[in-house]
Structure 1
């Protein structure tokens, strides 16, 4: 019986439709080469849909919930005020679908340039696990006397033991299958209440995982150590705000936002997980063919790993790495190939079965398959 998965596709805004189209071409090739199939449904979501209908995530929730995974392009456009789409769709999806862990590999691939002098691929292969549903992004806030010299703004951060525990436990399980090292990144000397709760959870859970070494780094120190000694880290677990910051630093180290990827994981099987490149909608280059689809295609690889198609996932990742190494630049007209041409080149390698899988470690993709919960 052919393995089949229900996939929701949200191309979104700006370059989103272009890079997602490229990822779907690669998915076609992976299905042909590895013997599975996907039933795909595209959903209108983003600035144009919001302007036309006023609809955000709440209107799409019931239909999206019935899928096994979500492939997401990008969201955001100057025609919609900042915060409306981000909070009303993206953050709302993370909340309602309990996508508790944002997983961001920081992996420097062979042949991909990095601004860090002397950094080599074998020194940069870590994973940042960011708590995805709490922290400053979902805490309450208020402003009084707005627009006056006496304006006062208050923003709170929400941290629950249950929320911290589920993401820390996942990070420990991830570390078990890697180099068995877990680093907590926070700011415990200033954010004493939240920091203490995070430290307590890591200390308590470490008893369940005695094989895993634990470490702690302040977030400001992390911004120093990560570019200079990324080999110090294996799995880093952190809160929502700090994770948002250090993962973008990680993306720069690995070659830029165009090659970075992410998974927003539901950890209990109650709702679909969502996979997206993290480069944003880039409306200024939409339609030019200058966008690198690698981030979206590598997100597809994470999705395939999560669905249990580890061999296909690794082939997609390896083929992407091969093509990235051939490009004279990672974006823009200097890339040498258009968005569509890059995707077609990667798809051809996957379809032919000629991906050089020795270029990429297999641990993360295989672990996503092993750790994925069954969908109800």
Structure 2
């Protein structure tokens, strides 16, 4: 029997609540399909930062390196700036383990209502491939003349040929397994250096995939299309910033961030990948038992797929669809009165059924 070592980082706020339910569901799937999940929990969080001055210990990356995968709850806590939590935990892990693909599948699930009320699940199904290691999220830059009238901030973007080529190629290869359509998010009419560079490389890679329909679209027009004509979108590839924005928009039009999972993927499988819900830590409702655990559970299905346990992943996804479709067990954001644990248990029971 295969046994996988999983690092569990519940994080802050509702991350703790939804992580418990995801583990419950995944453990049930592991028992049914006869493999093992060996969990090791880490208390790395903003609350830890307030106590120790660090989101994770100095040897945190070394501690994680021996695990097969990482399941992350959510980070964020009052009193800790977002850039501290991001650069103190998430970005170091993504970059140390070359998790250069941020994969965000988006689909309208049963029992949920899109703000685009006339659209069906088939029309609201896409995947965002976000470059996850460079681009606009760079440490290069700084602030000068602090506190003076001439104070300014300078932020540099970093686009390398290797970084752009590999994320674009990943998107094309993914499109080949789906509908054969990929669109690139750009803004080369306004961003004079990095975006034309991105466009050129996209066009070069496109020549390698003659059976895939490809196009480049300015991000503002693409955002409008996502709302007005979502059926025209399948695979979207974008830079770190553009992919981040578009994936949240895609989640919003398909029922909200509470339903959206994501994976920080190391395609070569040389290092662990990290899976998480798109939503934040929502500290205002933490511990109240009302958070929706579906996104974190679906992040778990992505983790199972990456481990090669595709049958178990499908069983969990099907269980989520079945429970949501009945509407009998739903958290308040879905119009019900069930608790986080009750929804998690219902999905776990459906996995075993």
Which category of TM-score, normalised to the shorter sequence, fits these structures?
A: over 0.9
TM-score, with normalisation over the residues of structure 2?
0.96
Map 1:183-202 onto structure 2 (within 5 A): 183-202=183-202
Give the Å deviation of 1:324: 2.3
Q: 1:286 to 1:310 in 2, by over 3 A?
A: same
Q: Per-residue CA shift, 1:294-347, capped at 9, x if unaligned?
A: 000000011111111111111111111222233486545953210000000000
- Identify the residue that residue 343 of structure 1 maps to in structure 2: 344
Give the match's secondary structure for 1:123.
coil
Question: Which whole-Å CA distance do the structure 2 matches of 1:332 and 1:131 have between them?
Answer: 30
- Identify the residue that residue 115 of structure 2 maps to in structure 1: 115
**Are the aligned partners of 1:65 and 1:272 in contact in 2 as well (CA < 8 Å)?**
yes
- Identify the residue that residue 358 of structure 1 maps to in structure 2: none
- Identify the residue that residue 7 of structure 2 maps to in structure 1: 8
Deviation >6 Å, runs of 4+: none
Aligned length: 351
Map 1:123-162 onto structure 2 (within 5 A): 123-162=123-162
- Identify the residue that residue 208 of structure 2 maps to in structure 1: 208
Map 1:1-376 onto structure 2 (within 5 A): 2-57=1-56, 58-327=58-327, 331-332=332-333, 334-352=335-353
Give the match's secondary structure for 1:246.
helix
**Are the aligned partners of 1:324 and 1:330 in contact in 2 as well (CA < 8 Å)?**
no
Comparing 253-262 and 322-331, the one that deviates more: 322-331
Give the Å deviation of 1:177: 0.6
**Are the aligned partners of 1:104 and 1:128 in contact in 2 as well (CA < 8 Å)?**
yes
- Long gaps (5+) in structure 1: 353-376
- Long gaps (5+) in structure 2: none
Give the Å deviation of 1:59: 2.8
Comparing 153-162 and 55-64, the one that deviates more: 55-64
**Are the aligned partners of 2:323 and 2:350 in contact in 1 as well (CA < 8 Å)?**
no
Comparing 323-332 and 94-103, the one that deviates more: 323-332
TM-score, with normalisation over the residues of structure 1?
0.90
Q: Per-residue CA shift, 1:348-374, capped at 9, x if unaligned?
A: 00011xxxxxxxxxxxxxxxxxxxxxx
Q: CA RMSD in A?
A: 1.5
Question: Which whole-Å CA distance do the structure 2 matches of 1:160 and 1:150 have between them?
Answer: 32
Q: 1:65 to 1:19 in 2, by over 3 A?
A: same
Give the Å deviation of 1:39: 1.4
**Are the aligned partners of 1:327 and 1:336 in contact in 2 as well (CA < 8 Å)?**
no
Q: 1:348 to 1:24 in 2, by over 3 A?
A: same
Question: Which whole-Å CA distance do the structure 2 matches of 1:219 and 1:69 have between them?
Answer: 32
Question: Which whole-Å CA distance do the structure 1 matches of 2:317 and 2:142 have between them?
Answer: 44
